Structure 1
Amino acid sequence: MTGIFISFEGPDGAGKTTALQNLLPQLKAATDQEIVVSREPGGSPIAEKIRNIILDVNDESMDAGTEALLYAAARRQHLVDVILPTLQANKVMLSDRFVDSSIAYQGGGRQLGTKEVASINDFAIDGHLPDLTIYFDVSPEVGLSRIKKDHADQMDRLEQESIKFHQRVHDSYLKLVKENPQRIVTIDAEQAPKQVVDDALAAIKQRFPNVFNGGH
């Protein structure tokens, strides 16, 4: 495969989705390769159906193991339907969340064990890790305050979890960053939004100078 796979990660409230939206025009201006943007959980019809089940606020009785398996199932479908075809077509794949999210949220947040959740996902992703992961770092306190300010009336099942849950998620992300220094680049997401986007753009251009060599 000759395409490039970049994932975007971060705790709730890190602003990664907004940063990705603002980053996209600049990335498109800097490369001749087509860029495909998707998200997890979801990204393809079957995976989106699974997403609706996972994030439904009424599914309070969902077992943590079931949740982890559903995320892995959605990820597998997303990989087959969207990610692999994009890479095989020599395009740039940008995914809003990927496997690190499950390790941090279900492995750490739900306390299922990061190694255990990673092993579930090993089957789902079949060795297809991102070439680069941009991790938007924000403290749980700042992240949750942003969520409550921006969409308190639309918080999903995970966003409604306790501060202790979100602290475990954050700690797990930091562990992943430490364990994967070649793949994961950390961006300080508590900076001004423009600086966050500028830093992410610089990290991508630095990693793939032959692909993103246009623009300024």
Structure 2
Amino acid sequence: MFFTLEGIDGSGKTTASKIVVDRLTAEGYDVILTREPGGDRIAEQLRKFILSTENPEITSGTESLLYIAARKQHVDTKIAPAVAAGKIVICDRFMDSTTAYQGYGRNQDVNKIDSIQSLVLEANMPIKTFFFDIAPNKVVSRLNNRGNLDRLELEGLQFQERVYKGYLALVKKYSSRFVVINADQDQESVANNLYNELVKVLKK
């Protein structure tokens, strides 16, 4: 089974996913937690390049293609083999991030981006995507407290608002795949919500 987690920067999905995966593993589930961009050696190198603040001249189109290239590597070497082996794969960000960030956030042609993604991903689609829903203005302080922000995290509130609107559009368009998690809560509550929604699918 393949699940993905989505949300704007600072939404809490990374923290919640680690808590939930530890819990599922303790209960005997064979779970792999991975992330994007990244997930394998080559994709992690692309991640460093894409997100580095030393590369501000990367164009929006190049940025999109680099993310998709990193995803192709990740799917081929890690996600697809793990799913084929019967493991549960939970990925922190996937294709919807590219649509939301590079499509809506960067004001690029969403249909064109999704067409390229569909060619690359083929049948490797998540069965459920959990969207961590929290308004952009509520995560500003979380990001500021992080320090060492990457190139996209430094884009500011207006960029995050465009990304957020993109996610809402995706949730509406793919309502059967998306599950909305209220991320405007404490970490324990958010993690419990994610766990409960995951287990519903696992026990079907």
TM-score by length of 2: 0.96
Identity of aligned residues (%): 38
Aligned structure 1 segments of 4 or more residues deviating by more than 3 angstroms: none
What CA distance in whole angstroms lies between the structure 2 residues aligned with 1:144 and 1:106?
A: 20
Count of equivalent residues: 204
Task: Provide the residue aligned with 1:200 in structure 2.
Answer: 194
Task: State the partner residue of 1:22.
Answer: 19
- Aligned to 1:181, the other structure's residue is in SS state coil
Q: Distance in 1 between matches of 2:123 and 2:110?
A: 17
Mapped partners of 1:145, 1:20: distance in 2: 21
Tell which deviates more after alignment, 69-78 or 194-203: 194-203
The unaligned stretches of length 5 or more in structure 2 are none
**Equivalent residue letter for 1:79:** V
Give 5+ residue unaligned stretches, structure 1. 211-216
In structure 2, what residue type is equivalent to 1:179? K
Contact 1:13 1:138 in 2 (8 A): no
Deviation at 1:13, TM superposition (A): 0.6
Out of 47, 51, 74, the residue aligned to residue 51 of structure 1 is 47
Matches within 5 A, 1:91-106: 91-106=87-102
Work out which of the residue numbers 146, 150, 153 in structure 2 matches 1:159: 153
Distance (whole Å) between structure 1 residues aligned to residue 193 and residue 29 of structure 2: 21
1:90 is aligned to 2:86: yes
How big is each residue's C-alpha offset from its partner over 1:191-213, in whole Å with a ceiling of 9 and x where there is no partner?
A: 11111111111111112214xxx
Q: Whole-Å Cα distance in 1 between the matches of residues 48 and 33 of structure 2?
A: 19
| Structure-2 separation of matches of 1:179 and 1:47 | 29
Q: Give the Å deviation of 1:113.
A: 2.3
Superposed CA RMSD: 1.1
Question: Which amino acid in 2 is paired with 1:188?
Answer: N
What TM-score does the superposition give when structure 1 sets the normalisation length? Answer: 0.91
